[in-house]
Amino acid sequence: MSDTLPYATRFGSNSGQSTSRRDGVAKVTGAATFAADNHPQGLLYAVYVPATIARGRVTHLDVAAAKAHPGVVEVMTPQNRPALAGDPDSKPFMFAFRFEALQDDTVRYANQPIALVLGETIEAATEGARLLNPQYQVMPPRVGLDAEAPYKVVVGNFGRPGETVHGDVAAGHAAAVQSVDVTYETPAQYHNAMETHAVVASWDGDQLTLDMPHQAIVMSRGVFGYYFGIPAENVLLRSPYLGGGFGSKSIANGPQVLAILAARMTGRPVKLMLRRDQMFGPVGHRGATRQRLRIGIDEAGHMTVLEHEALAATSTFDDFVENAANASQGLYAAGALRSAHEGVRIDIGTPGPMRAPGEASGSAALECAMDEMAERAGLDPLEFRLRNYAETEPGTGKPYSSKALRACYAQGAERFGWAGRPLKPRQMRDEQGMLVGWGMGTALFPAPMFAAQARATLRPDGSGLVETAAADMGQGAWTALAQIAADGLGLPLDKVEFRSGSSDLPDGGIAGGSGHTATAGTALHAAGVDAVRQLTAMAVSDPASPLFGAGNASIVARDGRLFVAEDASRSDSYADILARAGGQALVGTGSGGRAPEAAGRHAMYSHGAVFAEVKVDPDLFQIRVTRLVGAFAAGRIINPKLANSQLYGGMIWGISFALHEEARFDPRTGRIMNADFAGYHIPVNADVKGLEVITVHEDDPFVNALGIKGVGEIGITGTVGAIGNAIWHATGTRIRRFPIRIEDLLAHA
């Protein structure tokens, strides 16, 4: 089959269409089966007991009282916990964290599991957990970024360097005629997907079946196999539906492992589903940061230096430091660049990847600092960014695989009306007398790929079946991947069955890093191409086929038929070709991933620009985001409806980051004081107005075979800074901590 023909010509036009979610009806009607909806026979209910202190040890649990309660079957504590084959304090895999699984009586943070109660009913297990009445030896908690001396990060998250330097930083500072030196802080933020973490675990000998929401379905088999001493192939993990993930459902955690261990201990299936307040501790979060940015410019407003240092909170027993300073790499042209990270160990659960890890926090500070530099130089913020536009990746000099950021700036600014923005702050009011401010921020996120496999089957009736263990946590993978697969097979979408969400299928890779559609999609596409290639070989060598003798290179596949490219009257249906060959199904396989040399030659990112309008009450300083316009370039858009949905979601999260979201710690106890939706604020419908997304056309011939980048995380990265800058433009007050609160503005009134 010719590789010179356009993709749509070869495989149809399912891609690029705003197809509605294939799983939407099941979700809204309740037919979708999430992890906790599984009720195998003999099920026990597990409730984990969270520590109510942040540092110390457990001195007593009233196990007898708990076990005496009707319906309580067992209580697991450090004294009777069965042994694990793998050490929970080891890190045997890149995506493994150290966690608490009742190794001993030590308490390392509030909400840590200190016991597990099993009951015939959830009510019995809950009451049994209450009756344990834990007693503690309490030590003073370490809370906040100043609690301990920081340490230098040498190797950061997932192998990234803790410090990166390009050029002569000292010379860049010396050459600057104007500069800013500012510090921003971002808070701890906690994953709060609609579906909390859950698991239903069943053992059959040494065969383990897990129903749980997971973002890395096949990879996790080896992780759980390690902890329980069984081969990875003995683990069946089913995760057809996820109610959100944001990074937290990609890594094994203590409560899950304890529930699986309890199922082995009792010989019965066990279900555990975390309460909302239990999400604040053992399942990861975005760590708090303090970031210092120093920017210098020359007489023409060109940056001589950009230095970004980040201090981030992590736990006392593991290393995951929010790599916020990396947001300054890869975006703006500067004579010298430096990003560096330090960590501080405090009594919290270990942070982890949370939607746009590093880039969300880092870009919030960077984009505000860029506006402060623009103000110092007397330049419009957009003009300042354009003066420092990078034509190649800063520091490395690599060409971008594609970069339509100029078009994002232009289209976003035009739609927003940026040209009418006054340079000085506090110059605009609406008809009600509200202060009006306009701000902007640049959006940037890497375009990674992982490894994946897929299988495509052409059935005797001419329909298709495609299979890969992908994860749909709300981003629409079931739909977008099916569209790619249908085009790969040359079939209409309604003729393709898509199977996913189970570890006994080919490995669909990781749903994370905004790389899932690209990774699993290229595998599915390749599998479809392989199947059609085999089918074509059958047809052109079959004297009974109208395509006999045509040769593979002249054949195209479309709508379940093969055509001669130069003579569309010569065609043959899939069903007829297969019938003449004996009526057997035909199977193609494919893999996804990017060759290392491809990534080495080019810098690969999605780009964007976000423009924000806020209105601020001049007396009460209540803040409203009244308009957001985001323009994004992310390669080939497979499904505009779903892509826009992801971009909207990212921008809404940006509103949350800028104005609402913050975990508040009690300095006396180390406990989170707002571990619920009443106190942990996120935006509601009334907070989101005037949201608009523009997807800028972009062809990327290098990023992967399909030209796909990602849209899941980039929407946050420009939005937070844009809102912070708009608040300054409205009020004339620069707040350097997020979320920006009414009392922050009142303090400067």
The partner residues of 136 in beta bridges, in order of sequence, read 58
Q: 3-state DSSP: the chain helix, strand, coil percent, rounded to 5?
A: 30, 25, 45
**Strand 464-467, strand 452-458: pairing:** antiparallel
d(CA 539, CA 550): 9
Residue 127 catalytic? Answer: no
DSSP 303-315: EEEEEEEEEEEEE
Contact criterion met (CB below 8 Å) for 114 and 51: yes
Q: Are strands 303-315 and 289-297 parallel, antiparallel or unpaired?
A: antiparallel
Closest CA to 48 of 106, 96, 124, 111: 111
Assess contact for 282 and 317: CB atoms under 8 A.
no
Q: What residue spans of 286-329 are helical by DSSP H?
A: none
Q: Please say whether the beta carbons of 484 and 590 come within 8 A.
A: no
Neighbours of 317 (CB within 10 A): 17
The tokens for 498 are 């898509």
Q: Is the Cα dihedral 462, 465, 466, 470 positive or negative?
A: positive
**739 preceded by a cis bond (ω within 30 of 0):** yes
The set of residues, in sequence order, having a beta carbon less than 8 Å from that of 583 and lying 6+ positions away, is: 460
* Residue 621 to residues 218, 431, 737, Cα–Cα distance (Å): 50, 17, 16
- Listing DSSP states for 457-518 in one string gives EE-TTS-EEEE-B---SSS-HHHHHHHHHHHHHT--GGGEEEE-SBTTSPB---S-TT-HHH
Catalytic one among 120, 359, 713, 743? 713
Mind giving me the DSSP string for 547-585?
TTT--GGGEEEETTEEEETTEEEEEEEHHHHHHHTTS--
Residue type, 67: K
| Active site positions, annotated | 713
